[in-house]
Amino acid sequence: MTIENPDEVVQFRREGGHVAVVTLNRPQARNAVSRALALGLDRAVKAVEADAALRVAVLTGNGAAFCAGADLKEMAGGDDPLSRSTPDGGFAGFVFAPRRKLWIAAVNGPAVAGGFEIMLACDLAIASSSAVFGLPEVKRGLAATAGGLFRLPRRVPRGLALEMIASGDPIDAARAERLGLVNRVVAPEQLLPEALALAARVAANAPLAVEWSLGLARRATDVDEPALRREAHELTQRILATDDAREGPRAFAEHRAPRWTGA
């Protein structure tokens, strides 16, 4: 069996000063999650988190698929199913990874099973018109326990979520857009430019304001409103104490672009 290099099956590059592009690179296996890919994606998440200059990450796939989920050939060979998880990130080194930065999925093709769960773990998604989305685990005697069983019902109407989970049938990109699963659908050749343009718009904003706003917004469906209001009040105090909170109004008054320091 070929031993894969985690740094080859997950490619990492910078786009300008503040955006990272992370590419799943097992096109011959439809970017299915192997042990090496899970390790590589775990490393990529940690690299983004550790780099103060990076503000946004774009996650995409090489080839015709975004990600086909767990590598069933590895599993059929007797590998421990948990070998495609990491202690910090869960499945694929990603789905339960603690992340402060914004992640945008650029879904270049089918995102199914664990691949769909990876997309659901991202904050935003831009999809190619060729993309499809589904949780076919039940067709293989498995279950979508890497987030799909509870994240999908939060994102689409309950009946549709249960239908997708119980039937294993996918939906196409156009329907995913109508349901709000993806932010927009574009032609395949426009996918990465569109995702990078969105990343650039986010990266142009005050980094602490984005990071802390995301931190609260991600909890909006998990915490009751009184608790969220208390957290929002505390966030106001923290934001107002930053240099960037003073720089933003000053730059507006002086008719110039703000110079964020992240402090």
Q: Name the residues annotated as catalytic.
A: 117, 137
Strands (E), the chain: 10-15, 19-24, 56-61, 85-86, 90-91, 102-107, 111-112, 124-128, 132-134, 171-172, 184-186
Q: Which residues contact 224 (CB under 8 A, 6 or more apart)?
A: none
Number of H helices, E strands in the chain: 11, 11
- CA dist 105 and 183 (Å) reads 10
Q: Report helix, strand and coil shares of the chain as percent, to nearest 5.
A: 45, 15, 35
- CA dist 35 and 73 (Å) reads 12
